[in-house]
Chains A and B, each alone.
Chain A
Amino acid sequence: MSRPPLSQHTIGPFFPRSFVRPDDNDLARIGAGAPPSTRGERITLRGRVTREAGAACVNALVEAWQADAAGRFRHPADPAHALADPDFLGWGRAATDADGAFEFRSLMPGGYAEGNHHRAPHINLTVMASGLMRPLVTCLFFPDHPAENAGDPVLALVPPAARARLLARPEGLADGSRCFRFDLRLRGGATEETPFFCE
């Protein structure tokens, strides 16, 4: 038997504050109150979600998903899932504030081989906001790995002029670990918009 998937709708402006708690934005913690995994380099990711004319998107929901520091997922679709870091979740969510700002904490992801390709270390970000009738998905990369980035099969599909917009920018230290900036421009024309993906 086959069932068509339900249509998607906007998340609207009123996603409950109670659904986004402190530490939900820490991908290195498997649960509320759990300590962050220490098997990797601790990083902080900060950014803003903006729309046309650079205005802030308030109460947008951003969700992050990535492999552990060795490039593994604790999920049956990863052949090496049994070796994945059991103290690392790889998922987190954050709501944007009045300035459109969000923050995540995590560990630097590892890259992985898949088929004939090699995925460079990356984090998938999903944005849900008022006016978006489907979640927008993008993928951020790190400037540490130019050779891996050059071979990444997803980054290769992005128009060359827009690729730099998928690179997180180093922004000093936060709590003693490296901090990166990655801004999400939802609408801003060909020269400013963040590239977003579909399958």
Chain B
Amino acid sequence: MQPPDRFDPWPEGIEPAVPIPGYANTFTHLPSQPLIRRPATRTEATGPFRLDRKLPCGDDNLAVPGPGRIALGQLIHIAGRVLDEDARPVPGAVVELWQANAAGRYFHPIDTRDAPLDANFIGSGRVLSDAEGRYGFFTIRPGAYPVPGPATWWRPPHVHFSVLGPASLSRLVTQMYFPGDPLNPLDRILMSVPDAAARERLVARLVPPAEVGLGWLGYAFDLVLRGRAATPAMP
């Protein structure tokens, strides 16, 4: 596949509206000056070759860290495809996933919240998308956790994704949510996305058990990156 060579502006309503009331860091970290619009040059249209040699991939089972060890929580499988804006599969993308454990605590020295750690759950993995753009992870459903601060709220269960695609401009950092969670419409971060359809695309879809078996509750989630082909191939 040819990498994308056209990067349109973000469609209306997809980019989060900032700063976010109650999320203090969006007031102290965001630049006060407007971003400078520049044309994409070759540096932005390119990205690293065979990044999987730099960032080893294949760590796709977060729920079973070793023989006889299994994480606590609802076992789930998250799978989908990495695509560009023309819905073309993106092979060779590095997909990183990290999340809290079933109690809503991260295995991270910065997370000092008083909730239990799970010795069998680190909560991070990295895979490479295959020739059809497919990726997948075995993990557990994360717990909710509160955001500290005067205007505190609970983050709904969510999974963090970082995707390194074929160009600098296709870099994506986002979060995946679970369908029907009552915390979703109360989450200031999810609700900062103005367009309802764009928010809906951040929510995974339940997969029928016939497709994943009964060992894992299945969710489908496509990772759509910026970029398309300037000259689309004829059908």
Contact = CB atoms under 8 A, between A and B. Distances in A.
Among A17, A92, A131, A153, residue most surrounded by chain B Cβ atoms (within 10 Å): A131
Contacts of A66: 43
A5 B3 contact: no
B225 A133 contact: no
Interface string B150-190: 00000000001010001111011111000000000000010
Interface string A63-102: 1011100000111111000000000011110000000000
B31 A199 contact: no
A134 B15 contact: yes
Given A2-B87, A131-B24, 11 more contacts: A1-B87, A2-B85, A4-B11, A7-B201, A8-B15, A15-B160, A57-B29, A63-B171, A91-B47, A153-B38, A199-B38
A8 B225 CA distance: 10
A6 B10 CA distance: 10
A11 B30 CA distance: 14
A193 B33 contact: yes
A198 B36 contact: yes
A29 B48 CA distance: 12
B224 A153 contact: no
Nearest to A65: B168
Interface string A6-39: 1111111111111100001000011110100000
Given A65-B43, A153-B41, A89 B49 contact: yes
Interface string B192-233: 110000110110000000000000000000111110100000
A13 B110 contact: yes
B141 interface: no
A189 B23 CA distance: 20
B179 to A, nearest CB: 16
Contacts of A15: 98, 160, 162
A132 B173 CA distance: 10
26 contacts: A1-B86, A2-B86, A6-B225, A7-B198, A13-B108, A14-B98, A16-B98, A17-B109, A31-B53, A32-B56, A58-B110, A65-B168, A73-B46, A75-B49, A78-B42, A91-B47, A117-B41, A119-B41, A130-B29, A131-B23, A133-B18, A187-B29, A189-B32, A190-B33, A197-B36, A199-B7
B42 A77 contact: yes
B51 interface: yes
- Tell me the dominant secondary structure on chain B's binding face: loop
Nearest to A191: B33
A44 interface: no
A5 B25 CA distance: 25
Nearest to B29: A131
Contacts of B27: 52, 131
A34 B15 contact: no
B50 A30 contact: yes
A1 B29 CA distance: 37
B130 interface: no
B55 interface: yes
Which 8 residue pairs are nearest across A and B when measured between Cβ atoms? A131-B25, A31-B53, A131-B29, A91-B48, A75-B46, A16-B124, A198-B35, A133-B16
B26 interface: yes
Contacts of B173: 8-11, 128, 135
A75 B5 CA distance: 12
A145 interface: no
